[in-house]
Structure 1
Amino acid sequence: MTNDNSQREWWTAAELAAMRLSPEVPATERGLQLMIERNGHLAPDLAWPANPLGIWRRRSGKGGGREYRMDVLPVSARTVLARRLRKAEKPAEPERVALKAERSASEQWTWFDGLPEKRKAEAKRRMDALLAVADLQMTGRARDLAMMSVASAEDVSLRTLYGWAGLVAGLDRKDWLPALAPRFTGRTAEVEIPEAAWQAFLSDYLRGEVPTLTSCLRRLEALAKERGWTLPSEKTFERRVAALPRTMVVLAREGVEALRRLYPAQERDRSGFHALEGVNADGHKFDVFAKWPDGTVSRPILVGFQDLYSGMILSWRIAASENAATVLLAFGDLVENWGIPEHCWLDNGRNFASKWFTGGTPNRYRFKVREGDPNGVLTALGVEVHWTTPYSGQSKPIERAWRDFADSISRHPAFAGAWTGNTIDAKPENYGSTAVPIETFEKIVAEGVAEHNSRLGRKSKICGGRHSFAQVFNASYGDAMIRKASPEQCRLWLLAAEGVTVRKDGSVHLEGNRYWHERLIDHVGHKVVLRFDPDALHDAVHVYRLDGAYLVAAPVIEAVGFADTGAARDHARARKSWIKAQKELLKAERRLSIDELAAMLPTVDEVERAPSPKVIKPTFGNLAAAVRPSEEREFDQDENLESFGRGLRALRLVPSPNEYGADE
């Protein structure tokens, strides 16, 4: 026997007889055929009997005839034949053979894992059938009878069942499933598309205008008539397009942003924080028209700060536009109400990266950091700033809260008619029919934020599907070390009004309000700087000198009704008390009376006379000629008195005769 027989599965009757496998096997071809007929494998009355067990086949070589599997032989003969086949195999290193088998099995399982579930189920059905055959053999039933019994039960032909057994012959039972999986792959042939035509089609289809496949194909057909291309059906193009990498199609037709959304967002675990250790901030424009005090109508902007550990909204401010002042004030509310955070994640936008807020931060990427620039509020308070990607909701957890507000607040019943819709195509029927007053809007927003923070059943990792944002924040806040801001630090984020002049009564005016403190009287006529909260103009304003020195907190002077006599009495009483206090202050300061001062001054006995001049300069000119002896005349006394009286009356020092009568 040669090595070629090691992989054989079929033999002729003559070949099997010549092997002399056992005494039970006849040594002639005819004797072997009669043995096969006696064992029931063939029907003797048929020239070409049926082959239900699949144990023979027509010989394809010269002379025809039949070939048989070893299953037609007795068990002893099959054992001998199998032993001879193993000996005939080319010897190989055991380790290399095991490695090859392991590698082959791994590849088979990889291929099997990628099959659809229907084909996996079919492989399991085939394996169950072969296991049933093995179970019957264990009970002592002959293999052929076991095969026939299982084939009948599974409603498959005996030949098919033998074929399944052949697929797993020599394999470990744990590797049967991949071997038994159907290899039919369906349609594999594909009509070829001319390469030039395919490139022209891709150039038209893979572009940002997102043309339909049908329109691209219609233009390609017009081009094919000129170039002589033969195009397949539209279905063929659909299959070729479906086989293209989705990432390439999305990039070409939808752009980089759409491609970026296909990449999974990074999941950031915030459970390592404690309450107020880290915050993030962003602005949100509501889809609601609001009317401002000056009569303008616009969509309000909310600037908010969110705790990263719990997700609770800690502070917010509403303004007509997102600006650096609103960001400062919202952060000020956070610090005053809760404390100073350790870290702050910000959008690298112009308002959040303003020098008022983050000046002096080394890693600022907007505006230049100059050595002489003053420190911003975050830098002065020792808050570490982290920058997120602009317009990237995946980088800012607060975006999830904004999405909640867009539904629970923007669509509130109180805003009916003022809701604008969240897209251009989603404008409601009553678009622009009304605008909600800003006072009402702020009230609804405050209620919505409170409800957002206290809503139970939050599914975040920290809340565990049971608690609210506020509950987990308060629990952690009570155990955390919180930094608090001093009153001086709390003035860092107030807005500044420079160049306000202190008026004569010591008051300063801002936005129609008057503020006064007695210490401002010392600065009457001078310009000062006022720091204030625009949303709390009835609170005191902080007054600074132009050089930055702090003066005083000046309270507001409330306007009262014209006929409010009670307020008038209170004002008069307060002013009288103040004047009395100033008198007492003057008395305490001025301890020396004026009489005592006069008595202390030295007396002068004789006034020193001026010395006589040693040289007198003569006067010449018309003075000598003014009085000539020839022109001298005498004036009587009455004439002189009358002339003197006219001079006095001209100066209004004496009444004229008409005022009291001519006789007087």
Structure 2
Amino acid sequence: MQILDWYTAQQIADLNLSSLPNTKAGVINRAKKELWINRKRSGRGGGVEYAFNSLPSDAQEEIHIISARLAAKAQAKALKGNQPKPATQPKEANYLPEVIWSGWEDATDKQKARATEKVGGCFAVDDLVNTGMGVVEAIETVAADTDVSTGSLKRWYYKVRNFERSDWLPILLGNYQPSKSRQADFDEQAWEAFKADYLRLERPQMGTCYERLKLLAAEHNWTIPSLSSVKRKLENDIPKPQRVLLRQGERALADMYPALVRSVETLEAMEWINGDGYQHNAFVRWHNGDIVRPKTWLWQDIRTRKILAYRTDLSENSDTIRLALMDLVSRYGIPRKLTIDNTRAAANKWMTGGVKNRYRFKVKEDDPMGIIPLLGIELFWTSVQFGMGHGQAKPIERAFSHGGLGETIDKHPLLAGHHAGANVLDKPDNYHGGKDGASYEDFITALEQGIELWNNRVKRDTEICQGVYSFDQVFKRDYANATVRRATTEQMRLLMLMSEAVTLKPNGTFSLSCGGKVFGQKNRYEAVDLIGSNHKKVVVKFDPDKLHDTVWVYSLDGRFLAEADCTEKVAFGDKATGREHDKARKQYVKSEKAMAKAQQAMGVKELAELMPEVEEEAVSTPSITEIMVTQGNTVRKQTVEADADVENEFDTDFMRAMAMFKGDE
């Protein structure tokens, strides 16, 4: 086939190119959209013909391939004469399969299914032709056995028969082109103005931004489309990750990234635990009469997800964390690994002192070794990403989300009427603003029953529960086969005691900060055995509930030195009471400051504004003035009346005196 310089629409359609329509009307429409070079056709029939060089590059390449293939076929036929072609002779692939298959992935499932139906009929026709049957007879035979018309089957087969059978499927797909809707006119400056307004961290509403855009368009004579067109352009031109970054920040963009899925299959029960504090959404009347929302610290097994131990208090503090860990170790043993947040309560020196990568507080060389490293537990901190904690690193966070402990505890029937809601928009109708609370006993009962319900709920969708078992069931099963370290009596004592590094005076006395200060003084302790010792810094271990009793003194390297007795019981005798007193003192100071401020109706600046302005004092002229007059080398005092004209004489004498001072005279 010779390549022409000009082609009619029908000639292009007859070529059955995969990159162009195979109908005359389709070719004409494509030519209009892409503005092919055309001219009036001379000769019979008239019409329009299109320049070969203006056709799409894919179409030009296909025409070259078809031309070369037909030329090779004609040459081979001339060499072989009239010898019949073997039925099994394969066709030569004188084309680029990747070009033919390029549009397959852009087609819809419905179009792919139709192409599959077509290729089945073409395979049947080709099988009959390869047995020696004529093409027309084969097409009629297959058409008679199927619901496909003879004309359609003939058109399909003639379209694909010169290609390899493995490439027939995309050819029968047709010339699929994704629909491109026409975009409305939108001035570039207007588009940039809309993006600057909408794509910012304040997250303004799109409708409001569009109203501002209309005002700008009227001011600057911009052409803008409808709001729906603007929204469609925004979604098409700016990928969603970029929209999220510009409107919600880096953390929201990072949350779009697929989370790392970690398998816990290789862990044993009690090998690795994690812990966190949960702020309850229910008001409780505490021991001291305060109406509070308690906070509970919980320890959870990472493999089975069972909550193993917990303690509750007014706030998240080192006592609840330590005592909850004591409960866990006493009942189940010592875990090998532990994950917590780097919060002030969790990372305190009594729990994590001595850990090298501890960065919540300043690491000091004389810090006592914390309970966690002393028990031989490997500590892992959760990471901080883009200014926020990475909660996905702790599985227990999922117990605090929707459908978690808030449902089983905070909405327990015993706490009815005292639920505060998860946020300000989720307040129940019986919310009373924290004016009353459930009894402490009812709260503890709800806490115990709620955690038990959480652990015993079956059909948990986790890697270990497999949608069948509860957390408690898989823990009992796996814990029976686990290798667990049991705590000794001395290790349990470590959990019950706290420690603090203090300065030891030469007379064997020291003070502890844990009890707080009362009237500016702390509890004072005396160790007679350490009088005159060389220890400047020591570690004191104590029971936080019995600060007025005996405490134990150790060297910095952990050797026991002596017992010390409290000689001045000034501060509180237990750490919890001291903490509550400190909170009450701060509330008192805050309230007094507010009342004192109310006494001052006028501020200092307002007072300053009321002060009169300073006016320059008018100085009267005295009736008699004494002046010093120089006569030669003598300076004489002269009395002058107020109306005397002495100005010129005084100026002359003054200038002469200045000249003498400078050495001019």
TM over 0.5: yes
Deviation (angstroms), 1:337: 1.4
Q: CA deviation at 1:449?
A: 1.7
Q: Is the 8 A contact 1:2 1:88 kept in 2?
A: no
Matched, 1:484 2:476: no
Please give the residue correspondences for 1:324-335 in structure 2 after superposition, counting only pairs within 5 Å.
324-335=318-329
- Matched with 1:260 is 254
1:309 match: secondary structure = coil
1:101 lines up with 2:81 in the alignment: no
1:180 to 151, 172, 176: 172
What does 1:416-495 align with in structure 2 at a 5 Å threshold? 416-432=416-432, 434-494=436-496
- The answer to whether structure 1 residue 544 and structure 2 residue 536 are counterparts is no
Label 1:445 to 1:181 Cα distance change in 2 as closer, same or farther (>3 A).
same
Partner Cα distance (2:203, 2:359) in 1: 36
Distance of aligned partners of 1:355 and 1:224 in 2 relative to their CA distance in 1, 3 Å threshold: same
Measured after TM superposition, the shift of residue 66 of structure 1 is 11
1:303 match: 297
Matched, 1:127 2:116: no
Deviations, residues 517-575 of structure 1 (Å, cap 9, x unaligned): xxxxx99xxxx9884476xx9xx9984345676769xxxxxxxxxxxxxxxxxxxxxxx
> How many Å separate the matches in 1 of 2:270 and 2:256?
33
SS of the aligned residue for 1:374 comes to coil
From the superposition, tell whether residues 141 and 450 of structure 1 become closer, same or farther in structure 2 (CA, over 3 Å). same
Q: Quote the residue 2:73 is aligned against.
A: 86
**Structure 1 residues 99-139: Cα deviation after superposition (integer angstroms, max 9, x where no partner):** 9735445x53xx42343323323333443454465577689
After TM superposition, the structure 1 = structure 2 runs for residues 458-607 of structure 1, keeping only pairs within 5 Å, are 458-494=460-496, 531-532=542-543, 543-545=550-552
Post-superposition Cα deviations, 1:594-647, rounded to whole Å, max 9, x if no partner, equal: xxxxxxxxxxxxxxxxxxxxxxxxxxxxxxxxxxxxxxxxxxxxxxxxxxxxxx
Query: Partner of 1:170 in structure 2?
Result: 162
Q: Deviations over 1:381-428 (max 9, x none)?
A: 111111113543311101122332112222111111111111211110
Structure 2 partner of 1:63: 43
Partner residue of 1:237 out of 230, 237, 250: 230
Counterpart residue number, 2:521: none
1:293 aligns with 2:300: no
Following TM superposition, by how much is the alpha carbon of 1:362 offset from its aligned partner in structure 2, in angstroms?
1.1
CA separation in 1, counterparts of 2:275 and 2:70? Answer: 79
Q: Is the 8 A contact 1:419 1:428 kept in 2?
A: yes
TM-score (norm 1): 0.60
Aligned residue identity for 1:170: N
1:400 to 398, 401, 409: 398
8 Å contact from structure 1 (residues 151, 161) kept in 2: no
Which AA in structure 2 matches 1:220? Answer: L
Tell me the equivalent position of 1:116.
Answer: 108
Letter in 2 for 1:214: G
Letter in structure 1 aligned against 2:171: A
Q: Quote the Cα distance in structure 2 between the aligned partners of 1:541 and 1:155.
A: 100
Structure 1 position 371, deviation (Å): 1.8
2:197 is the counterpart of 1:204: yes
8 Å Cα contact 2:351/2:370 also seen in 1: yes
CA distance in 2, matches of 1:314, 1:372: 33
Paired residues of 1:288 and 1:415 also in contact (CA < 8 A): yes
Distance 1:238 1:164 in 2: 42
State how far apart, in whole Å, the 2-side matches of 1:151 and 1:63 are: 42
In structure 2, the CA distance between the partners of 1:83 and 1:310, relative to structure 1 (3 Å rule), is closer
Within 2, Cα distance between the matches of 1:9 and 1:207? 51
Kindly state the Cα deviation for residue 263 of structure 1 after the two structures are TM-superposed: 1.1
| CA contact 1:310–1:462 (8 Å) conserved in 2 | yes
* Contact 2:553 2:563 (8 Å CA) reproduced: no
| SS at structure 1 position matched to 2:322 | helix
Q: Distance in 1 between matches of 2:110 and 2:233?
A: 25
Code of the residue aligned with 1:398 in structure 2: it is: I
* 8 Å Cα contact 2:333/2:487 also seen in 1: yes
Q: What's the CA shift string for 1:69-118, capped at 9, x where partnerless? A: xxxxxxxxxxxx997552469xxxxxxx979735445x53xx42343323
Shift of 1:246: 0.5
Q: Is the 8 A contact 2:124 2:142 kept in 1?
A: no
Q: CA deviation at 1:316?
A: 0.6
1:175 alignment partner, SS class: helix
Q: Closer, same or farther in 2 for the Cα pair 1:155/1:192, shift >3 Å?
A: farther
Match of 1:217 among 210, 215, 225: 210
Deviation of the 1:464 alpha carbon: 2.6
Where in structure 1 are there 5+ consecutive unaligned residues? 12-50, 52-58, 68-80, 90-96, 500-509, 511-521, 553-664
The CA deviation string for residues 349-390 of structure 1, in whole angstroms up to 9 with x for no partner, is: 111111111111111122122222111001111111111135
The aligned residue for residue 337 of structure 2 is 343
1:384 pairs with one of 378, 384, 401: 378
Computing the radius of gyration over CA atoms, which structure comes out larger, 1 or 2? 1
- Partners of 1:428 and 1:165 lie apart in 2 by 71
Q: CA deviation at 1:284?
A: 0.7
In structure 2, the CA distance between the partners of 1:355 and 1:368, relative to structure 1 (3 Å rule), is same
CA 1:276/1:230 → structure 2, altered by over 3 Å: closer, same or farther? Answer: same
For 1:172, give the aligned amino acid. E
For the residue of structure 2 that corresponds to 1:113, the secondary structure is: coil
The worse-fitting range, judged by mean Cα deviation, of 184-193 and 257-266 is 184-193
Deviation at 1:167, TM superposition (A): 4.6
Indicate the SS of the match to 1:360: coil
Instruction: Verify: 1:368 aligned to 2:368, yes or no.
Output: no
> What is the one-letter code of the residue matched to 1:228?
N
Which residue identity does 1:326 align to in structure 2? Answer: T
Once residues 88 and 202 of structure 1 are traced to their aligned partners in structure 2, the CA distance between those partners, rounded to angstroms, is: 63
Aligned equivalents of 2:199, 2:241: Cα separation in 1: 12
> Is contact 1:491-1:531 (8 Å) kept?
no
Identity in percent = 34
Residue 345 of structure 1, CA deviation: 0.8
Partner of 2:662: none
Task: Give the superposition deviation at 1:154.
Answer: 5.8
Distance across 1 between alignment mates of 2:211 and 2:353 = 59
Aligned residue pairs, count: 454
Decide whether the 8 Å contact of 1:543 with 1:550 is kept in 2.
no
Q: Given the superposition, is the C-alpha separation of residues 167 and 423 from structure 1 closer, same or farther in structure 2, using an over 3 Å criterion?
A: farther
